[in-house]
Structure 1
Amino acid sequence: MYLEAITGPEDLKRLDRDELPLLAAEVRAALLQKLSRTGGHTGPNLGVVEATIALHYVFDSPQDRIVFDVSHQTYTHKMLTGRAEAFLDPAHYGDVTGFSSPYESEHDVATTGHTSTSVSWACGLATARDLTGGDWNVVAFIGDGSLSGGEAFEGLDLAGSMKNNLIVVVNDNDASIAPNVGGLYGNLAELRATGGRAGRNFFRDLGLDYRFVPDGNDLDALVDAFAEVKGIDHPIVVHIVTRKGNGYGPAERSPEAWHSTGPFDLATGEGGPKAPPELATITARHLVARMASEPDLVAVTAGTPGMFGFTPELRAQAGRQFLDVGIAEQSAVSVTAGLVRGGAKAVYGVMSTFLQRAYDQVAQDLCLDCVPACLAVFGGTLFAPHDATHHGFQDVPMLGNVPNLVYLAPTTVEQYLSALDWGIDQTDYPVAIKVPGGPVRHGAPCEKDWGRLNSFELVQDGRGIALVGLGSMFPVAERAAAIIEKRTGVTPALVNPLYASGVDGALLGELAGRCSVVVTLEDGIVSGGFGDKVARFYGPDRRVAVLCRGLAKQVRERYDVDELLRSVRMTPEQVADDAIAAVTS
């Protein structure tokens, strides 16, 4: 095998060009074998096997800096830079992350998992190189889907004004996670149709040189194109046309479904495409049902409709009442605000990790003028383990402290849909909803008056100990309460706060009269989070000890949920132990 003998790009360069297709076949086979066992970003990685081989065959990493946008397509890159064992040996499948990481290899410039940043990175690297007297190449590798992000345009705009070596490889497979959205893609289609000779050229209009490669899965063409631009003295775009999922029929036929998959049967492809999370599907169906009688209700996404539960079928049912703005979270927030200001009702469904990218728009476009739009925030939970790039642990510190924003934290499907309806229909506040994580829970019909802000629910009255479990952590508080009562014979108070952006001073004040210990539980960063609000409330009252349980402010890679809960003492048994110890100390 060729791949087993490659410990770095220097080994790749020893191959003859006519051996490269054989290496590509081995890489693709290794990718499929591993992905069928572990799942991962299947379509993106299959599509760039040849392009990645050509990059490392021509350029001299790590001296030449190659920045992969999003970096969810770096599996071949990892194989060629000393990490092939993690793709060849099942015992080592977990040795590498799903994204680039300088902690793994000097060939990875940065840990990147969010889109549209590579060209800006490249501009900074190129400027630093020139200031320090370097003479290496800078290459940004960016997919067409990433071009809809505002920072991609900002980076290209800056690159067009530079006068130094900077190479932008645009990997155009005519797809994002879902179909591309935006006027730019019309010009990309023209460039593809004319072999790069269309009268309009977005890249040239920004001041960039331009080269077109019609078959981005042709190794000879790629090597020639990259060799031609290596060492160039000005910024250039190399526009390559690839096929997402190339070399695997199921992935080629359904690029959206095969963008990121679970394990699958290699022979048939069965099991690979992931169904949307159950609560996402419930959300989308609920909204589509409302849309049938409410023509002014709009669901907004920023290029991730599946996360929001909107399958192609449900998008078709929603018609123009479903609005995908492309991978552009900042625009999504402002568009949502504009919809509401224009007289429509709007809900923007977004992953917590991606909403971080639009913090300014949340604070300014929504909250400054108290625009009553609604955000459904998915993935703000430790029950959704991902690479460090995609954690949403910061949602409560981030959203719970923005003036005017009401951040709700329901625990059951019934509470969630009730909160969602209220957030859409009310006209007083910008509302965000922390979509419950963990196992989906059903409960009694919800009759909550969400307009009574910060009115917590006292689920069980008690004394000595009060357990306050926010959102997805309420079931843990519930189980801990049962353990405490069994061990001590004393019934603790149990509170479902339902609001992450404020505290119920009246209820907390009453609890202080009969509880000496209050335990708060939240599945996010505790510093600046919900527990801090409760602790500050009780601060002057020395009769109440507050134990705030949550995550420390640190970067975490992939983890086991149960192990993480144990490490931060948030299993029901540990919560009970600590509460009993505190009340008896």
Structure 2
Amino acid sequence: MRILDIKNPGQIRQLSMPQLETLAGDIRSFLIQSLSRTGGHLSSNLGIVELTLALHYVFESPRDKLIFDVGHQSYVHKILTGRAPEFGTLRQRHGLSGFQKREESEHDPWEAGHSSTSLSAAMGMAVARDLQKQEGEVIAVIGDGALTGGMAMEALNNIGARKEKLIIVYNDNDMSISPNHAGFKNHLTSLRSSRTYRTVKRDVKAGLEPSPVLLNSLSTIRDVLRDNLVDGGLFHEFGLDYLGPVDGHNLPELIRTLETAREHKGPVVVHVRTRKGLGFAPAQQDKTGQWHGVPPFDPVTGKFRSSSCPGEESWSMIIADTLSRLARSDHRITAITPAMANGSKLLQFAARFPDRFFDCGIAEEHAVTAAGGMAAGG
């Protein structure tokens, strides 16, 4: 299947597994070549190719709602929903948005850049669906960086309490834009597979429902297995069921797990492990976020092409240099960033004034309020 011939995601459901795997490689090549000319968010989209294919293979957009968080990891979704011919206009005036955009496609039910809004939006859509007695799944794809946002935690708390049927796909690539700053992040990455739990649950429901006593006994065993083999911490404490971790580049395993999640009653988390930048060596080896959002580059050498006139500085560099200059003479000045130290050109400020530099992770709601607290304190 030619990428430019894809008009809607229903077309990929006609493909065999080898054809899907070939398409995954073709999409990676398309992204590298297209973004080498326009720039854009490269690493995150290279890492989510198989996951997006599996999502569109299992679910039926636009009836089923797919929300991507952070929103820039939706490029593959755009390709599979018929927008590949427009990629030459990516992030240009009147061109294709770098995020999901409701006015751009019926397949984009939500729009946000940064960050951590998907879970609240998904819960709201699930409530609206149920109140109106409509059909369809609601799926939020949230990255490990976005999951550290306070709003995401608030949403998890409410989702676990209300029990609307929705699916949370936790896209865990061990790296957001900058290194993650979160106390529970290390715990999340140690979650173990729940295959045993799922097997027991399936066998109990399929074979033992006629015997309530035996069913109750084995359900107790199942719960013990869940508490010991599945996440015993964050997701379980929020009252959410959990599947995974799943290899985010294994299409058959992804499809099976997402089909299991689709049949689940109530909210469920699918933990998917992906590799950011997969398929392009410079991006895959990047540990600093340099290949997160990129200017035009040479797809062969990996060298960035200068998009500025000689001697011209970026807005970010001008602002960061001015901030550093002012901070030398005014010790009240602090700098706060929600995981954007590199992109905001604040690494130099951080090196000069480490006591006055704060990277609070992608928690933007917290960053703004903490800034207010600092200002109120002088």
Determine if the TM-score, normalized by the shorter chain, exceeds 0.5: yes
Q: Equivalents in 1 of 2:321, 2:91: separation in Å?
A: 34
Question: Could you report, residue by residue, the CA deviation over 1:521-545 in whole angstroms, capped at 9, with x for unpaired residues?
Answer: xxxxxxxxxxxxxxxxxxxxxxxxx
Q: Equivalents in 1 of 2:366, 2:114: separation in Å?
A: 16
Could you say what secondary structure the match of 1:160 adopts? helix
How is 1:136-535 mapped onto 2 (pairs within 5 angstroms)?
Answer: 136-191=136-191, 194-195=192-193, 197=229, 200-255=232-287, 256-271=289-304, 277-283=316-322, 285-286=324-325, 298-311=334-347, 315=350, 318-338=353-373, 340=374, 366=375, 370-372=376-378
CA contact (8 A) 2:90 2:97 kept: no
TM-score (norm 2): 0.81
Amino acid at match of 1:157: N
Aligned in 2, Cα 1:92/1:246: closer, same or farther, shift over 3 Å? Answer: closer
Q: Equivalents in 1 of 2:232, 2:124: separation in Å?
A: 28
Question: Could you report, residue by residue, the CA deviation over 1:71-107 in whole angstroms, capped at 9, with x for unpaired residues?
Answer: 21111111111112123xx489964211111212111
CA contact (8 A) 2:119 2:168 kept: yes
Q: Equivalents in 1 of 2:370, 2:91: separation in Å?
A: 41
Question: Could you report, residue by residue, the CA deviation over 1:7-42 in whole angstroms, capped at 9, with x for unpaired residues?
Answer: 111111000122111000111111111100000111
* Equivalent residue number for residue 59 of structure 2: 59
CA contact (8 A) 1:162 1:235 kept: no
Q: Equivalents in 1 of 2:305, 2:127: separation in Å?
A: 43
Question: Could you report, residue by residue, the CA deviation over 1:232-271 in whole angstroms, capped at 9, with x for unpaired residues?
Answer: 2110010111111111111112251111110001011111
Indicate the percent of aligned positions where both proteins have the same amino acid: 40
Q: Equivalents in 2 of 1:273, 1:125: separation in Å?
A: 43
Q: Equivalents in 2 of 1:284, 1:22: separation in Å?
A: 49
CA contact (8 A) 2:38 2:89 kept: no
Aligned in 2, Cα 1:189/1:110: closer, same or farther, shift over 3 Å? Answer: closer
CA contact (8 A) 1:284 1:309 kept: no
* Equivalent residue number for residue 360 of structure 1: none
Q: Which has the higher strand share?
A: 1
Q: Equivalents in 1 of 2:237, 2:96: separation in Å?
A: 40
Q: Equivalents in 2 of 1:280, 1:77: separation in Å?
A: 34
Count of residues paired in the alignment: 335
CA contact (8 A) 1:125 1:138 kept: yes
Question: Could you report, residue by residue, the CA deviation over 1:480-500 in whole angstroms, capped at 9, with x for unpaired residues?
Answer: xxxxxxxxxxxxxxxxxxxxx
Q: 1:144: how far off? A: 1.0
Amino acid at match of 1:282: D
CA contact (8 A) 2:40 2:91 kept: no
Q: Equivalents in 2 of 1:36, 1:71: separation in Å?
A: 20
- Name stretches of at least 5 consecutive residues in structure 1 with no aligned partner: 341-365, 373-585
* Equivalent residue number for residue 29 of structure 1: 29
Aligned in 2, Cα 1:66/1:29: closer, same or farther, shift over 3 Å? Answer: same
Q: Equivalents in 2 of 1:220, 1:178: separation in Å?
A: 31
Could you say what secondary structure the match of 1:30 adopts? helix
TM-score (norm 1): 0.53
Amino acid at match of 2:163: K
CA contact (8 A) 1:34 1:93 kept: no
Amino acid at match of 1:126: A
Q: 1:321: how far off? A: 4.2
Could you say what secondary structure the match of 2:189 adopts? helix
Q: Which has the larger radius of gyration?
A: 1
Quick check: 1:13 aligned with 2:49?
no
Aligned in 2, Cα 1:288/1:42: closer, same or farther, shift over 3 Å? Answer: farther
* Equivalent residue number for residue 362 of structure 1: none
Q: Equivalents in 2 of 1:243, 1:284: separation in Å?
A: 35
The Cα RMSD (Å) is 2.7
Q: Equivalents in 2 of 1:184, 1:64: separation in Å?
A: 31
Aligned in 2, Cα 1:97/1:333: closer, same or farther, shift over 3 Å? Answer: closer
Aligned in 2, Cα 1:317/1:93: closer, same or farther, shift over 3 Å? Answer: closer
Q: Which has the higher helix share?
A: 2
Q: Equivalents in 2 of 1:64, 1:187: separation in Å?
A: 31
CA contact (8 A) 1:137 1:231 kept: no
Aligned in 2, Cα 1:120/1:5: closer, same or farther, shift over 3 Å? Answer: same
CA contact (8 A) 1:162 1:234 kept: no
Question: Could you report, residue by residue, the CA deviation over 1:48-67 in whole angstroms, capped at 9, with x for unpaired residues?
Answer: 11110000001011111111
Q: Equivalents in 1 of 2:134, 2:147: separation in Å?
A: 29
- Name stretches of at least 5 consecutive residues in structure 2 with no aligned partner: 195-228, 308-313
Q: Equivalents in 2 of 1:68, 1:199: separation in Å?
A: 23
Q: Equivalents in 2 of 1:320, 1:224: separation in Å?
A: 49
Quick check: 1:133 aligned with 2:133?
yes
Amino acid at match of 1:309: K
Q: Equivalents in 2 of 1:245, 1:284: separation in Å?
A: 32
* Equivalent residue number for residue 48 of structure 2: 48
